[in-house]
Structure 1
């Protein structure tokens, strides 16, 4: 069943760290089956606290999503993401 990783950027603290993250995350894609569905486009918060940006990535299943997220390449890049901003991230299963 399709799964999605959603990343929500709440507050930026260090843009330079986010630039390093962007390069590392791009390289971490490798041969993982990722389909970007939303990538920092215009957003409107309808409920809850404000946020600066959001990313939605589609994967064939939860296992593929976890394989990318926990891959050594992404975990290395992620260190810069969390230094650069406050985030929320989660995996959600799609519907059949």
Structure 2
């Protein structure tokens, strides 16, 4: 099942380390079939606060996403980002193409006897 690396990164002044990170990250993704789905761009906040940028990278599955994140090639460049940008990074499993929120609700109702 498809998985995603999602980052919510706070705005910060551009630093040469961050530019180097941007120049090098693509090469770390290729061996893991990772591809950017969202990389910056405007954010239209409809609810709550969202200070910063969004990055979403798609991977074939969660195991591959973890393998990329923990790989030596990514770990080598990660400090270029983390020394200058703060934020949250998560890996999350996607859903099947036939996913239904109403079926999910029915399953949860049964599981919790609601």
**Structure with larger RCO (C-alpha < 8 A, sep 6+):** 1
**Counting strand residues as a fraction of each chain, which structure ranks higher?**
1
* Pairwise CA RMSD: 1.6
**Larger of the two Rg values belongs to structure:** 2
Gapped runs of 5+ residues in structure 2? 97-114
How much has 1:14 moved relative to structure 2?
5.4
Deviation per residue, 1:11-66 (Å, 9 max, x gap): 32552221121123123224221122111111123344332211111111100101
Name segments (4+ residues, structure 1) moved above 6 Å.
Answer: none
**Counting helix residues as a fraction of each chain, which structure ranks higher?**
2
Q: How does 1:50-65 map to 2 (within 5 A)?
A: 50-65=50-65
Q: TM-score, structure 2 length as denominator?
A: 0.74
Q: TM-score, structure 1 length as denominator?
A: 0.86
Gapped runs of 5+ residues in structure 1? none
| Aligned positions, number | 96
CA distance in structure 1 between the aligned counterparts of 2:19 and 2:3, rounded to whole angstroms: 27
